[in-house]
Structure 1
Amino acid sequence: QRIIEIRDGRIVDDRATGRAAAADGSATALPQRGRGSGWQAMRDRFAEAFRMALRAMNAHRMRTFLTMLGIIIGIASVVSVVALGTGARQAILSNISSLGTNTIEIYPGSGFGDLHSARVETLTPGDSVALAGQPFVDSATPGVATTGTALHGNRSASVQVQGVSEQYFRVHGLKLGEGAFFGPAAVGGYQQVVVIDANTRARFFAAADNPIGQTLLLGNVPVRVMGVVKKDAGAAGDASLLRVWLPYTTTMTRMLGQSHVSSITVRVSDAISMEAAERAIGRLLARRHGSTDFYMSNNAQIRQSIEQTTGILTMMISSIAAIALVVGGIGVMNIMLVSVTERTREIGVRMAVGARRSDILQQFLIESVLVCLLGGMLGIGVALALGAGLELANVGFSLVFSASSILAAFACSSLIGVGFGFLPARRAAQLDPVEALVR
């Protein structure tokens, strides 16, 4: 009689009892595997564990799906929030870029948020002319802004009116779609002419109509349409915003009745740095005004500020959304613990016939990772579907997905599966086969 004791997949005792015992144990010993078959055996064990995990998931499909649901919601939330932050940042930076390259904006007051800036009336068209004459300035334009109601035929709409010089279109890099921009003669002659954007054209004129030469009534001032700016060729802001540009002289005298301007935009030559240009502009205006009653900002500063702000907001919201991932991971761990309890006898049988503790650990870890990976894939699909839906709905913003965020979502799903599945898998691997069989 021969007694062989196997523990954790290895023979730990091989003894003979009674007269039938073999004199030479080597004659009946189990064959040892060769070294060359080690990798093959590892692959076989992994494949078997993978198949068993799939069978276990298929046997409890509803429970598996409900377990995935937390991962689906968490991954979809995080991926969508990151994509929303990326899309918002790109849209804002695109709008800032449309304001022109190498530009400096000059405003009255001591800075952003100055409650008394509306009372400062020292910026004048003469300041713009003086700045335009500087060797480091490519072009400069004064600006005044107001809102009003535009009327054409039986159609009316609220529009944003901007009084500018002929240099404005060069400063901001606007492209002409139809007609022409107004020139110095229109500014100097206080002419009642207007350049409209593509949104205004679509609002007041049919696609087949020629708007050039048509008359719009802005408040009580009739103006003749000279040109149409190409769509998205520099109109920052909401896509539904209607914008029109008049000579600043016309806007100041016929619509606002004022002699000062709201801002001056300076386009700096490429040969000089923005910092040096700001210092020179500051000295010039301080001499003209007798004090520093203005402040300046440039696109680089605004861009940097917006990138920092959107980055912080995206990180904060992503952290909140990541809580859903943690909750989903806890749900996975809970269900896996229940599964270990339900399958205690199965684990005992496997260990009794030679399964190693590492095989049991591997089986339950694979099952946990599979649940999380499938949940992650479905979560990414939900996020992509949400982005496509927003794109079709044309809500004014879009979700911008990146390969890095999707790969990070897959990695996060795998880590959640390993992290939250390890405790149940370890508990299953540490079960005593004898106790497991009698439960």
Structure 2
Amino acid sequence: MDEATFQEDRSGQEVPQEASEAGTRPIIELIDVSRIYPNGESVVRALDRVSLAIQPGEFVAIMGQSGSGKSTLMNIVGCLDRPSSGTYRVDGVDVSALDADALAGLRCSTFGFVFQRYNLLPSLTAAENVEIPAIYAGAPYEERFERSHLLLERLGLGERTEHRPGQLSGGQQQRVSIARALMNAAPVILADEPTGALDTRSGEDVLALLKELNREGHTVILITHDPDVADHARRIVRFQDGCIVADERRMPEPTRPALPATRAPRRHGLARFLPDLAEAVRMAFASMHSSVFRTALTLLGIVIGVASVITMLAVGDGGKAQVLERIAQIGTNLLIVRPGAPGIRSSGDNATLLPEDAEALKAIPGISAVAPERTGRYTLRFGAEDYYTSVTGTSADYLAARDWPIARGVMFTEEDVRAYAPVIVLGQTVATNLFGDDEAVGHYVLVKNVPYEVIGVLSARGANAFGQDQDDAALIPASTGFVRVFGRRFLNSITVKVENADDIPAVEQEVTRLLTQRHQTQDFQVRNTSQFLETATETQNTLTLVLGCVAAISLLVAGIGVMNIMLVSVTERTREIGIRMATGARMSNIMLQFNTEALVVCSVGGIAGVALGIGTALGLEAMGVSIALSLMPPLLAFGCAFLTGLVFGYLPARKAAGLDPVVALAYE
């Protein structure tokens, strides 16, 4: 394969070879470079005023025993570490003036690393490992794919592109590492003990490959402690105690054009962010797949939290809708007049409301029906059947005021009221308990041993807003009730139906004025059903809010779990982060990757939670629980899950992005 094939920058423009041939400027230049590490009260000089210049196209072996400073030199040369003092230039650029992202860009475009322990990512295939530097260089997927496969084919791994590192031998893994170093056509290859973990045959193959790359124009810097390995280089620099003790040129360097640094595309804004985001999402799914059990546990918390929010809100909204529906059945344009002064709770036995008050209210404009009510609980008997129920004495306007139709038979009339007629209208529950499936109309029931003819059966209404069975009732003329049932002639309440709901305030004011005038004091209370509606709505909204908060707490706990898992993941993947940084990942790339992983986990969990929440709500509905599903709760729950990933993924992502490349690569 001709390496020149890949000497185009990512924008597709050819890089002129003449630009890199001009002059004799070293590609690597160190001037009085020292690297000092604190060690308690003293310091360790890993490098001590080292000066070294390496020309483009050289094959240099940095040789020395363990602790001599050669690995520290490689870290500084590869821009993984910074010198404590001195000057370091890469192709004339002083790296001391570069920030972390600029150093990452320099590593991406100039250096290819070959490590002793290969440093391949176990969750990726061979081809995907090779592609990593090109991802951070901004190369399109098609170009990366073709390039990685061509490099692996060249290195004899064409049939192993889809194998993971665990499926490859040591020599094969090192070839993948070399292919990764070549991915961006980096002009400088830094090989740190590349044969240290290989057998003799594989080691010879790797050294032969490095020599071949050098012949093609790559500058090769080989770190080794083995003299036999160092003998393959044309120049040997010996280190001892952080100092260069010998610099031997064993053979002249052949004249060849040096390779230029790879140029990354100049992308900004969405043109840069969207491809990076797509890669981060892809890597997030790969990371999730590599640790399925941990991912499942993390997802479980999000799923339960989201499902709880949806289910709780569905139940709360369902209960609210049910209560409001029951209040609406009563009517929202009603006034209820009860005995007792305002602010004083009355038992209903206060004799301040009289039937004449109800008659007087009929004269107020805007009122369509007035129903006086006196209620008590009594036993009704039919044959051998007894049933204890609520008996209400009222007028013929009762059904009109309550919007309650007759199912069978008729309602008693005003003529029946004036005639003290012994007639009765039964609710569905009473009729069923006394007559079963038989027809009740036309039969007689006993109330306090007085026979009443059943002339009608009310339609079913179900429970009211307070859960009471509205069908457990019987109606008789108020006049008949006062004489034969209740005894005393006063009312428990008066129900007033207003023709137009907009007139309720005016009518309420007039009712209050008229009754106050009649009683010479305000010994009554006037409430309208819209107030009941507002109270019930506020109560149900509070209940729904409480349920939602309880569910939100579970989502918060799940978010903390996500952060904890991600922090553990950062610790476990410290070496991976170091590898990515060494191959050109900027802080923003690492931040984006780990934030995206948290977002993907929470988004997948959110989608699953939405499905589970809706399924649970529908299951509860099938069991008879009143629910109300709408679009807002699932959107809210998913949005909260997404926000959870964004918020709780930030700290782990920031921790990952802030790692020192050298420390991360050395992490065990």
Normalised by the shorter chain, which TM-score bucket?
0.7 to 0.9
CA displacement at 1:265 relative to structure 2:
1.0
CA distance in 2, matches of 1:161, 1:251: 9
* Conserved 8 A contact 2:338-2:348: no
Q: Which aligned pairs between 1:109-258 and structure 2 lie closer than 5 A?
A: 109-111=340-342, 113-114=344-345, 118=348, 120-152=350-382, 156-205=386-435, 209-218=438-447, 220-232=449-461, 237-238=466-467, 240-241=469-470, 242-258=472-488
Alignment of 1:336-351 (within 5 A): 336-351=566-581
* Aligned counterpart, 2:265: 33
Please state if 1:390 is matched with 2:620: yes
* Structural mapping, 1:81-120, within 5 Å: 81-111=312-342, 113-114=344-345, 118=348, 120=350
Please tell me whether the aligned partners of residues 175 and 233 of structure 1 are also in contact (alpha carbons under 8 angstroms).
no
Secondary structure of residue in 2 paired with 1:255 = helix
For 2:463 and 2:579, the matched residues in 1 are separated by 72
Structure 2 residue 653 is the aligned partner of structure 1 residue 425: yes
1:407 aligns with 2:635: yes
CA shift at 1:4, angstroms? 7.0
Give the Cα–Cα distance (whole angstroms) in 1 for the partners of residues 384 and 440 of structure 2: 15
* More helix, by proportion: 1
Q: 2:535 aligns with which of 291, 305, 322?
A: 305
Deviates more, 1:357-366 or 1:210-219: 210-219
- With a CA cutoff of 8 Å and minimum separation of 6, indicate the structure with the bigger relative contact order: 1
Cα distance in structure 1, aligned partners of 2:324 and 2:362? 27
Q: CA deviation at 1:179?
A: 1.7
1:204-230 Cα deviation digits (max 9, x unpaired): 5555x4332234445644433322333
* CA distances 1:358-398 after superposition (whole Å, capped 9, x unpaired): 22222221221222223333333343334323322325xx1
Q: 1:390 to 1:430 in 2, by over 3 A?
A: same
The answer for the alignment partner of 1:57 in structure 2 is 288
Other-structure match for 1:261: 491
The answer to whether the 8 A contact 2:373-2:478 is kept is yes
Q: Is the 8 A contact 1:357 1:429 kept in 2?
A: yes
Amino acid at match of 1:419: V
Q: 1:365 to 1:139 in 2, by over 3 A?
A: same
Work out the number of aligned pairs and report it: 433
User: Residue type matched to 1:281 in 2?
Assistant: V
What secondary structure sits across from 2:636 in the alignment?
helix
Distance in structure 2 (CA, Å) of the matches to 1:22 and 1:101: 98
Are residues 381 and 247 of structure 1, via their aligned partners in 2, closer, same or farther at CA, if it must alter by over 3 Å?
farther
1:332–1:420 Cα contact (<8 Å) kept: yes
Partner of 2:106: 11
Q: 1:374 to 1:190 in 2, by over 3 A?
A: farther
Alpha carbons 2:327, 2:464 under 8 Å: kept = no
The answer to whether the Cα contact below 8 Å between 1:131 and 1:140 also exists between their aligned partners in 2 is yes
Give SS of 1:10's match.
Answer: helix
Partners of 1:216 and 1:96 in 2: how far apart?
Answer: 31
SS at match of 1:212: coil
Question: 2:341 is paired with a residue of what secondary structure?
Answer: coil
CA distance in 1, matches of 2:476, 2:638: 54
Change over 3 Å in CA distance of 1:387–1:147 after alignment to 2: farther
Tell whether the 8 Å contact from 2:370 to 2:496 is kept in structure 1 after alignment. yes
Q: Which amino acid is the alignment partner of residue 437 of structure 1?
A: L
Q: Is the 2:318–2:628 Cα contact (8 Å) retained in structure 1? A: yes
Task: State which drifts further: 359-368 or 405-414.
Answer: 359-368
Say if 1:205 and 1:63 are closer, same or farther in 2 by CA, change over 3 A.
farther
Give me the whole-angstrom Cα distance separating, in 1, the residues matched to 2:287 and 2:330.
60
Q: Distance in 2 between matches of 1:200 and 1:22?
A: 111
**Contact map agreement 1:165 1:184 (CA 8 A) in 2:** yes
Please tell me whether Structure 1 or Structure 2 has the larger radius of gyration of its CA atoms.
2
In structure 2, C-alpha distance between the alignment counterparts of 1:156 and 1:383, rounded to whole Å: 47
Contact 1:187 1:248 (8 Å CA) reproduced: yes
Deviation string, structure 1 residues 89-116 (Cα, Å, up to 9, x no partner): 222222222222422111100135525x
Give CA deviations for 1:403-433 in whole Å, capped at 9, x if unaligned: 1122111111111110011111111122222
Distance (Å, rounded) in 2 between the aligned partners of 1:236 and 1:181 = 25
Compute the TM-score of the two structures, normalised by the length of structure 1: 0.86
* Contact preservation (8 Å) 2:316, 2:547: no
Preserved contact between residue 146 and residue 162 of structure 1 (Cα < 8 Å) = yes
- Give the counterpart letter for 2:457 in structure 1: V
| TM-score, length of structure 2 as denominator length | 0.59
Residues 230-270 of structure 1: CA deviation (Å, up to 9, x unaligned): 33389665375523222222333322212101001111232
Q: Which amino acid aligns with 2:614?
A: L
Pairing partner for 1:319 from 545, 549, 573? 549
SS at match of 2:455: strand
Which amino acid in 2 is paired with 1:142?
P
Letter in 1 for 2:291: H
- The question of whether the paired residues in 1 share the 8 Å contact of 2:106 and 2:584 is answered with no
Letter in 2 for 1:307: T
Q: CA RMSD in A?
A: 3.2
Amino acid at match of 1:228: V
Task: Could you tell me which runs of 5 or more consecutive residues in structure 1 were left unpaired when the two chains were aligned.
Answer: none
